[in-house]
Chains A and B, each alone.
Chain A
Amino acid sequence: MATNHIVDARAIHKHFGTLHVLKGVDLKVDERELVFIIGPSGSGKSTLLRCLNRLEDPSSGSIMVDGIDMLNPKTDINHARRRIGMVFQSFNLYPHMTALGNVTLALRNVAGKARAEAEVLGRAALERVGLADRADHTPGQLSGGQQQRVAIARSIALEPRVMLFDEPTSALDPELVGSVLEVMRGLRESGMTMIVVSHEMGFARNAADRVVFMDDGLIVEQGPPAAIFENPTHERTRAFIGQIQRH
């Protein structure tokens, strides 16, 4: 299947028992594109994101990422995941390792780098998120914003083709959000393809190429940020945008 899209998900359905969370979602993402996914809680945005790297197995549908058929049982999923970075709401840093240890674990065990080379690459990744001087700190010694930036470094050190962000700033104190968005903006400028589930509307407005609005397991509408925020076509989108902008 030839495709120009780096992510090409089609007709994704996901059931959790009797709960039908995704009801046939199509999502195509171009290389270097930044796609924002918004929607009320329970609309399936996180589940969609987690299906893309198979943290969740979709009930049906097809997912191609960077030319790899993610749902083919013959696909080496660990190899494929190396190319798909993911950043979580709760950071999920390994508390028993230093920042550098967090960043180099996959470099050594998945990318097969020797310790010395992994540490050079790891330090470079920490440098990119502005934390070169925190390499030897453990997560417990870092602020939330710093922890999330280490988590980003952990992903980008593997040179992923796509980055998935699952509410990366939701667990942060307001004054720490900026530093994480700053790093994300830098990634965007370097040409990283990014899919972001988040309600940081200001960031979406000036950084996103496209905003996707999901509700009740379906994509309701999508388009450039200005169109979605200023002139939503659907009543549900309008109601949602109205609600979040009131705050």
Chain B
Amino acid sequence: MSGWDKFVETFFNAKVMWKYLPDILSGMVVTIELALLIVVTGLAAGLALALLRSLAIRPLNWLIIFVVDLFRSLPPLVIIVLMYFGLPYAGPAPSGFVSTWLSLAFVLMAFSEEIFWAGITSIPKGQWEASRSTGLSFGQTLFNVVLPQAFRLTIPPLTNRTIAITKGTALGTVVAVTEILGQASSAMSNSYNPSPLMMGAAAYVVLFLPVVVAARWIETKFAWKR
């Protein structure tokens, strides 16, 4: 048997792959569910915090900045572990799925708040002044004039960050979430063969490549002619 055949036999073993395909597919479903929950709640919470911050209420802003900096500096794995193994001592005992979801949503909230905030503050003061001078209120100006322009600026960094954090769903393995990587590694130990891991890798590509392409499409759609 040549080296190449051995390599294929080890990493792309058809028999093993066929056997564990259903596991990987069910892992994909879990990963998609987790990722959607994280993206929707994380981005919504991040935007809400950025909007609250724009009200310029000082004590509130200190709190927002503290929370955001905390979640940006902690490794996501630590947050997941704390929530899953630590929180039960204080009462609530979230499942591995919920722990992973909430932990990564908090991290995405923190990063997206900073990105939204940077977008809002990058809009020139003259835009606010022109709008306010025609009688639009602070809120009307924010939603009609500032946010549409800010969103356009935030799309590239936001999609990067969102993809990076949703790939963190793989961390759910440590708290027994049966997502792609969890399924792949248990299949790997059961079959004594790394082929399931290759399937897992392929599954991530299948899931995230369309997201990257969609992000590009959104970027061009939201661009306007200067």
Complex Cα gap A49–B124 (Å): 20
How many angstroms between the C-alpha atoms of A95 and B130 in the bound complex? 12
9-residue interface stretch from B25-33, B82-90, B141-149: B141-149
Task: Kindly provide the distance from the CB of B173 to the nearest chain A CB, expressed in whole angstroms.
Answer: 43
Pick the residue among B134, B224, B226 that contacts A105 (CB under 8 A).
Answer: B134
Which residues of chain B are near A95, meaning CB under 8 Å? Answer: 149, 224, 226
**A79-B135, A138-B224, A140-B225 known; A109+B130 contact, CB < 8 A:** no
Looking at the assembled complex, report how far the CB atom of B29 sits from the nearest CB atom of chain A, in whole angstroms.
38
Q: Given A92-B126, A105-B144, check contact A53 B224 (CB 8 Å).
A: no
Interface residues of A in 94-121 (CB under 8 A from B): 94-96, 105-106, 109-110
Determine whether the beta carbon of B136 is less than 8 Å from that of A88. Answer: no
A110 to B135, Cβ gap below 8 A?
yes
Q: With an 8 A cutoff between CB atoms, is B95 at the interface?
A: no
The total of chain A residues at the interface (CB under 8 A) is 28
Cβ contact within 8 Å between A88 and B126: yes
Cβ–Cβ < 8 Å partners of A241 in chain B: none
Q: Is the pair A158, B224 in contact by a Cβ cutoff of 8 Å? A: no
How many chain B residues touch the partner (CB < 8 A)?
21
Interface hub of B126, B133, B145, B224 (most chain A Cβ within 10 A): B133
Contacts of A90 in B (CB 8 A): 126
User: CB-CB contacts of A66-103 with B at 8 A, as 1s and 0s?
Assistant: 00000000000011111011101010111110000000
Contact A106 B134 (CB under 8 A): yes
- With A105-B131, A106-B134 already in contact, the answer to whether A96 and B148 are too (CB < 8 A) is yes
- Whether B133 and A140, one on each chain, are in contact in the complex, defined by CB atoms closer than 8 angstroms, is no
Shortest beta-carbon distance from B152 to chain A in Å: 7
> Measured between alpha carbons, how far is A80 from B134 in the docked complex, in Å?
9
Contact A105 B136 (CB under 8 A): yes
How far is A88 from B126 in the complex, measured between Cα atoms in Å? 8
Inter-subunit contact A78/B224 (CB<8 Å): no
Closest to B130 in A: A92
Is A13 an interface residue, CB under 8 A from the partner?
no
**A154: interface (CB < 8 Å):** yes
Is B127 interfacial (CB-CB < 8 Å)? yes
> Contact residues of A with B, CB < 8 Å?
53, 55, 78-82, 84-86, 88, 90, 92-96, 105-106, 109-110, 138, 140-141, 151, 154-155, 158
